[in-house]
Amino acid sequence: MGKNLQKCGSSIKNNVKHTIMIGGLSNNGIEKEFEFWAAHDVDFIMLSVAYDFFLNREKISEALRLKDKYSLNLLIHPRPDGNIFQTPANIEAHSIMLDSLDKIRDIIYQNGLINKLILHLSSCRLPGNNFRTFSEEEAISNSLLFYKHLRQFDDLTFVFENVYPPGIGWEELGYVPEHFSIFNLPKNSEFCLDTGHLKLSTMNMSDIFRLPYKITCLHLHSNNGRSDQHIPLTRQNFHEWREVEEILTYDKYIVLEVKNELDKVKNTIEYIKKNQIAP
Ligand SMILES: [Zn+2]
């Protein structure tokens, strides 16, 4: 690979990436995902892992093996696991999560992975999970403590993603602009604009542009306006995203965050290649 970490946002061949999503191709095994995306000319895969590192040890080591086999880089996206409440909202999970971030940082540097982590703000409740729920107030006060600790990871960049209001799926913070300002996130934090989430959101594009973060990552997908379906953007529905087209530049990490209608992915990739502009 030999890609320089500093440059991997701008020097990669087409700047089109994909995430592994449970319920996508993963039923066929993680290798099928790599094979599929390598055949579609992407540069890296965004790997969703449980926040608790130990829950995903095998998935990560398999991904590291496949990354070399298919010459793809990896961008890590830690998430709370469905059964265990690993979220900044849960004060009891903080030490496990910070420990996991430490281990993920080592893996990133040992393997030349992209030194950014895509994060959602705190989850207050997981779907189909009655393990524990947190009120928004409680989630905010516990998370304030957690995010202070992120400053010790100053060699990593945290990229925070917009989500949708409670009631649609996962209940998480990050569905209103205020959530991004109250946490006093590390100074070098960046923003990941998720188009599917935006479509379900009360926030609009100008709210996001007003936040004091550089948009460095795009999660491109769409839906019917009611649930987070993760369907591909196509030439037909790209027009809904005029402002996104304008920021579709070579220096961004573009993730085709899709799990359905994979046959349409080729169209999205062609569209992006044709429309990407220099930053
Ligand atoms: Zn996303």
Query: How far, in Å, is the centroid of ligand 1 from the Cα of 257?
Result: 6
Query: Domain holding 191: CATH number?
Result: 3.20.20.150
The DSSP code for 174 is -
pLDDT in 10s for each residue of the chain, 279 residues: 333 322 233 333 445 666 665 444 455 678 888 888 888 878 888 988 888 877 788 889 999 999 999 999 999 999 887 666 889 999 999 999 999 999 999 999 999 999 999 999 999 887 665 667 899 999 999 999 999 999 999 999 999 999 999 888 778 999 999 999 999 899 999 999 999 999 999 999 999 999 999 999 999 999 999 998 888 887 777 777 888 888 888 788 988 888 777 778 888 888 888 877 766
**207 phi-psi bin (left φ>0, alpha ψ -120 to 50, beta other):** alpha
pLDDT value, residue 131? 66
User: Nearest-CA neighbor of 69 among 103, 32, 21?
Assistant: 32
Query: How far, in Å, is the centroid of ligand 1 from the Cα of 191?
Result: 11
- Specify burial of residue 219 (Cβ count, 10 A radius: 0-12, 13-18, 19+): buried
Query: How far, in Å, is the centroid of ligand 1 from the Cα of 219?
Result: 5
Cα 127 to Cα 55, 103, 133, 169, distances in angstroms: 19, 27, 10, 6
pLDDT value, residue 4? 30
Tokens of 185: 């996130």
Query: How far, in Å, is the centroid of ligand 1 from the Cα of 45?
Result: 13
Instruction: Name the domain count of the chain.
Output: 1
Tell me the C-alpha distance between 175 and 76, whole Å: 22
Which residues does 75 contact at the CB level (< 8 Å), separation at least 6?
17, 44, 45, 46, 47, 113, 114, 116, 118, 253, 255
pLDDT value, residue 167? 84
Query: How far, in Å, is the centroid of ligand 1 from the Cα of 71?
Result: 23
pTM over 0.75: yes
Query: How far, in Å, is the centroid of ligand 1 from the Cα of 21?
Result: 10
Query: How far, in Å, is the centroid of ligand 1 from the Cα of 13?
Result: 22
- Structural domain containing residue 101: 5-275
Tokens of 146: 């957690």
Query: How far, in Å, is the centroid of ligand 1 from the Cα of 168?
Result: 14
Query: How far, in Å, is the centroid of ligand 1 from the Cα of 263?
Result: 20
Query: How far, in Å, is the centroid of ligand 1 from the Cα of 49?
Result: 13
pLDDT value, residue 31? 87
Query: How far, in Å, is the centroid of ligand 1 from the Cα of 111?
Result: 24
